[in-house]
Amino acid sequence: MATVEENLTRVYTINLGRAWLTPQHKRTDRVINMIREFAQKHMKSEDIKLEQELNRQIWSRGKTNPPRKVRVKMVKDEDGAVTVSLYEDAPAATEAPVEAEKPEPVSADAKPEIPAGDAPTAVEEVKTEEKAPPADK
């Protein structure tokens, strides 16, 4: 017996360079169709839905200059419907947050220590001598 896969999720990078073989004014239309065809082939479903954010990302550069590659996340639910969305890396969500080191409180009397290499240098005043105009004879 075959079991039904629940919420199958996959991440793909789709190469869209073949869209440049089509006429210039039809490229972005072709890219949308290529994403749908890719999802049908890899997720084995005819019901494909593109999320609005992915659509806006592809159309953001106009009709003649779509992106060459796009990273997408495909989710197949119990009904067999596939939702294709833009994939965003979120390493902060998967890892535990790192606590920043808190600086020690400084009293009003304490002077900050300056390392020898970072010590400010004294600014020397340079006096310019004004030359008097030459005297006429």
Q: Which domains does the chain have, with CATH numbers?
A: 8-88 (3.10.440.10)
Strands 48-50 and 82-86: parallel
At 97-122, the pLDDT tens digits run: 556 666 666 666 666 565 665 555 55
pLDDT digits (tens, 9 = 90+) for 69-100: 999 999 999 999 999 999 988 765 455 555 66
Answering whether pTM is above 0.85, one says: no
- DSSP character string of 15-79: E-GGGGGS-GGGHHHHHHHHHHHHHHHHHT-S-EEE-HHHHHHHHTT-SS---SEEEEEEEE-TT
- Angstrom distance (rounded) from CA 48 to CA 36: 6
How far is residue 127's CA from residue 137's CA, in Å, rounded to a whole number? 30
Percentage above 90 pLDDT, the chain: 58
CB 12 within 8 A of CB 75: no
Tell which residue, 11, 81, 76, has the closest CA to residue 46.
Answer: 81
